Structure 1
């Protein structure tokens, strides 16, 4: 069925795009037919028909990125065999830039376009086709007419051989599962399509129909999944006070080793390991992924930074607020699962401690702010290199920690009257529902301050736009907890490098951590370590046995085929391993915050 809020979104999208395009947009009738004659060779064939044209030139464009995954991926690179046909004749359709084809359409009312898409990249954000199924990540499949992003379209799927099912949030036309309708391109590009023989089951949650579509098999328990996912859905809807859908689809790809997720307006795509559902660790990890991507139904897909919609599909869409959009979602994925009682408070605190350790053991925490991490996602987050840990952080990770800090601050300062939930619901209601637009950085800050009951200028200066070390004990202390470092008394020596051993038993340096012995004394990425103090290196895990901080090592290595000798002075390993533990004699006020925070 059509989601409840789709009409509002479509109307807003049309208004905003009409105000930015600067000229009247053409209304046309657009349809696609998708077939898979060479599915075994990883191709989807697309036939696009456009009628009602009234312009001299028709530009056809392929998006360069997909919303939710902040990297220009150049989907046009996968297109081949592009051709245009008018009145039964092939006409010129030159490519005028990397993702645009131009057709002369003066005096022409309709045109048919054909092209093929090579789809052989397994991820939640890219299309994949083989003889077993077709996954269409729609922003990398469907070309659109320039200046017609508001136009509706119809998509007809012609399945390969015995494929019998289509899973997507796009509504059916005349109850035909192989014919779907999209109100506009923002919705089409936000509605992935799974075609094949996937296992489909589901449940109803307060009138919303949920489908779970499993491809690839696996040792999952359907009834347990239905029960537990239902709990997560209910807890997340309670944060915002409503579920804005009538139909929601989980598309799950189960592989030998899989992971990751990508949110969409009324669906999500999840990657999972098919045999991991049978262990509590694997199952809880999957539930965390479900909670994360489903929480995006509100946070990002509706409550969003102002630049993230309507989208520019030709260029990067920059924001400094991914620490809210993704980081808060990561925070909520764990707290939501805790609220369902699917794991204990201790499990939850262990998850938070992992977030602390991840951040604190990154040298990049002293280089990149979380606002900068958000803004530079397009050039850094999805393109890590051997030096990334020294210069960057994750807006997921630090954003989740900031979410926890603000949640505890608000609960404490309001004496349990408010929490971060109140901020999220207020912002959703005020900006998505009432103002029908995204928020600015300043507006979200005001939302925090409204429920914290005070200005947060210093908080933003220190933790959002600055590099001030986080005072974990201050915020955990509100709930009667503190951190302890299990490695505080360790005196282990380290070179500060990571290595990999090749099939030929060569020990190759793969990373060098800033400020460590290897970094200071000149070990490089790709160096082959051959000997320490004249002793050949045969096992990287034992090469520092019996060594201590302050020891000087004569290291022999090969760099670019030439021998190099270095003297390296070992330093103490400064890594931390925090654990969250209760303080002694917690006060009634601290216990009240704890109860509110952990849903005890």
Structure 2
């Protein structure tokens, strides 16, 4: 038996060596018609001698949990041998092309990609610049995701700069090396005339590439981003990068971000840097995405890597990954001194208002929201508020409660920072793998010295949470200024559209919900009173009405008039604010100072 296995292994080695003799993959990206939003991609594959080669385009990009079908933007796919003789090509699935390569030693593939979607996760190409999201740009050989690849970028004649986290190849201009396709797909590329400047923080060189202009102050950005880098690094104890790249797309009105292993792509408003509120929002985005270089890109749920680029990669733990990050982004701004105590508490209070005033919070557990991100979070509709909850906002609240619980249990000696640092060292550094949720909980309990099943149970249920049981320990309480007030509520949101007052949302279990008002209904009159498009008359009617009043609501729906009877119910929405307890014990005052301390 032993001898048979040896012969079989030898035979397999011979076959493998024959089929994959020192395979090499090289891409060349050029831009013949950027004004029409196209890039030309050449993919050269050598050293793979097989009857056929299957190449695939990812259907999604890590960090953005939606199947985006990037292959729909591929055109003119062709393949040929080293002499230019064409191969037969067959598309065998939505994102797979089969090349009948007949054991040829070299295969050259040419295709075009169209890119004209403004986002941090999709390609955008025009006559001023090109942003390449690698998962939407580069194909891989099926079964060879671990293969290294080189990328040569040939900028358009009007462009002079390339910004990317990929490592340059010595002696080869505009050429970069990825050790595998996971790294390639995690390394966006900006090509154009971006304003590039650098700073050093936590021993790491940071590059900022500002695209689209803006009224930013270079020195202030460098100083403030450096502070965020230093504070974030303190939490985990090390910064694993040698170089990090911020690619910032400045629009008339922009936002959003996507994390990568040693870079991030951010959207911003080009003229918002001189507005203090807008600027703080941008710094919060910087803090959020930078925090992800540890928390998601390295410390991660076991389901999130290695990735399957053909299908959804499900996890119930986005409430930990995105939610905890959403808690720390503002907390880091507080530690940097960008937010005072009052402003920070108001920011946290906003999460309470967002979560507790959303009917879907009593329908969908936040762990289920994590799992369903693929079909719900990125595809909201008019009923989403009634059926789902955000793993960002609710996850942030659970992180805050967990932080406060650990502080209370350890007398302020430990906190959530210590859990994250220990988890990073345990799972990423030592075990080199992702974690199971029960492992993360066990590690948390080890550090806290008390059970934390209440927090993890809350993530998997829709039961109400006694937030003050946690906040009180640090000398604070959550106050609902609507508590005890008897106010009527119709239960709709509206907007003005072409001179009409149109319903944009109907809240679950309200008068409008029970009475049959629909989204997209035009509100015309109530009890015979004509309504204006700005909603002023509607507000007047509701301000003078009482709970239990029956209103005759005239609407236009699909070109027909309908009169509905709606009974006003009590407004159940809260106005939540975190305030200090009127009387604090010394222990509470001490924990509160530790919780919100400047570092």
How does the TM-score come out when normalised to structure 1?
0.94
Is 1:579 aligned with 2:577? Answer: yes
Match of 2:273 in 1: 277
> 1:102-113 maps to which residues of 2 (within 5 A)?
102-113=98-109
Would you say 1:526 and 2:524 are equivalent positions?
no
Residue number in structure 2 paired with 1:6: none
CA offsets 1:28-79 (integer angstroms, 9 cap, x no match): 1111110011000100110111100122210010000000000000000000
1:555–1:567 Cα contact (<8 Å) kept: yes
State the Cα distance separating 1:188 from its structure 2 match: 0.2
- The corresponding residue for 1:202 is 198
2:479 paired residue among 470, 481, 484 = 484
Is the 2:30–2:40 contact (alpha carbons within 8 Å) kept by the matching residues of 1? yes
Is the 2:163–2:245 contact (alpha carbons within 8 Å) kept by the matching residues of 1?
Answer: yes
- Structure 2: tracts of 5 or more residues without a match: 1-15
1:56 is paired with a residue of what secondary structure?
coil
Q: Does 1:50 align with 2:48?
A: no
Cα displacement (A) at 1:487? 2.7
CA deviation profile, 1:273-328 (whole Å, cap 9, x unmatched): 01111111011100000000000000000000101111000000000000011000
- 2-side partners of 1:181 and 1:353: how far apart? 45
Secondary structure (helix, strand or coil) at the match of 2:419 reads helix
Query: Is structure 2 residue 207 aligned with structure 1 residue 231?
Result: no
Tell me if structure 2 keeps the 8 A contact 1:153–1:182: yes
Residue of structure 1 equivalent to 2:7: none
Paired with 2:319 and 2:586, the residues of 1 have a C-alpha distance of 33
Q: Please, which of 462, 483, 490 is the counterpart of residue 495 of structure 1?
A: 490
Structure 1 range deviating more: 290-299 or 515-524: 515-524
Runs of 4+ in structure 1 deviating by more than 6 angstroms, as ranges, are: none
The residue number in structure 1 matching 2:402 is 406
Q: Is the 8 A contact 1:50 1:112 kept in 2?
A: yes
Q: Is the 8 A contact 1:277 1:283 kept in 2?
A: yes
Aligned to 2:146: 150
Please give the residue correspondences for 1:59-138 in structure 2 after superposition, counting only pairs within 5 Å. Answer: 59-86=54-81, 87-138=83-134
Instruction: Find the aligned partners of 1:573 and 1:364 in 2 and give their Cα distance.
Output: 16
Aligned counterparts of 1:176 and 1:557: Cα–Cα separation in 2: 67
2:418 and 2:171 map into 1 onto residues whose CA distance is 40
Q: Which residue of 1 aligns with 2:336?
A: 340
Distance 2:171 2:190 in 1: 17
Q: Match for residue 467 of structure 1?
A: 462
Matches within 5 A, 1:332-411: 332-411=328-407
1:103-123 Cα shifts (integer Å, max 9, x gaps): 112321111000000000000
Contact persistence 2:87–2:101 (CA under 8 A) = no
Aligned equivalent of 2:545, options 547, 552, 560 = 547
Partner of 1:509: helix, strand, or coil? strand
Q: Does structure 1 residue 515 correspond to structure 2 residue 513?
A: no
Report the counterpart of residue 9 of structure 2 in structure 1: none
Q: Offset at 1:596?
A: 1.3
TM-score, scaled relative to structure 2: 0.94
Name which of 29, 32, 35 aligns with 1:40: 35
1:182-201 → structure 2 map (5 Å cutoff): 182-201=178-197
Q: What SS does structure 2 have at the residue aligned with 1:49?
A: strand
| Cα distance in 1 for residues equivalent to 2:466 and 2:173 | 54
Q: Distance in 1 between matches of 2:154 and 2:255?
A: 29
- Report the count of equivalent residues: 576
SS at match of 1:382: coil
What is the CA-CA distance between 1:175 and the residue it aligns to? 5.7
2:536 pairs with 1:538? no
Return closer, same or farther for 1:176/1:593 CA change in 2, 3 Å cut-off.
farther
Distance 1:598 1:80 in 2: 54
- Which of residues 591, 594, 597 is equivalent to 2:592? 594
* Contact 1:528/1:558 (8 A) holds in 2: yes
Aligned residues: CA RMSD: 1.3
Counterpart contact for 2:228–2:336, Cα < 8 Å: yes
Indicate if the aligned counterparts of 2:58 and 2:136 stay in contact, CA closer than 8 A.
Answer: yes
Pairwise CA distance, 1:177? 5.5
Q: CA deviation at 1:495?
A: 1.2
Q: Give the secondary structure class of the aligned counterpart of 1:371.
A: helix
8 Å contact 1:28–1:53 — kept in the other structure?
yes
> Does the aligned pair in 2 maintain the 1:373–1:393 contact within 8 Å?
yes
Alignment check: 8 A CA contact 1:166 1:177 kept: no
Gap regions ≥5 residues in structure 1? 1-22
Please name the residue that 2:217 is paired with.
Answer: 221
For the residue of structure 2 that corresponds to 1:122, the secondary structure is coil
Residues 70-113 of structure 1, C-alpha deviations (whole Å, 9 max, x = no match): 00000000000111111311221111000000011232111100
Say whether the 8 Å CA contact 2:202–2:233 is kept in structure 1.
no
Partners of 2:165 and 2:485 in 1: how far apart?
53
Shift of 1:394: 0.4
How many angstroms does 1:490 deviate by?
4.2
Contact persistence 1:460–1:466 (CA under 8 A): no
CA offset at residue 491 of structure 1?
3.8
Q: Counterpart of 1:408 in 2: which secondary structure?
A: helix
Query: Residues 365 and 459 of structure 2 are in contact (CA less than 8 Å); yes or no, is this contact kept in structure 1?
Result: yes
Give the Å deviation of 1:176.
5.1
SS of residue in 1 equivalent to 2:465: coil
Give the secondary structure class of the aligned counterpart of 2:48. coil
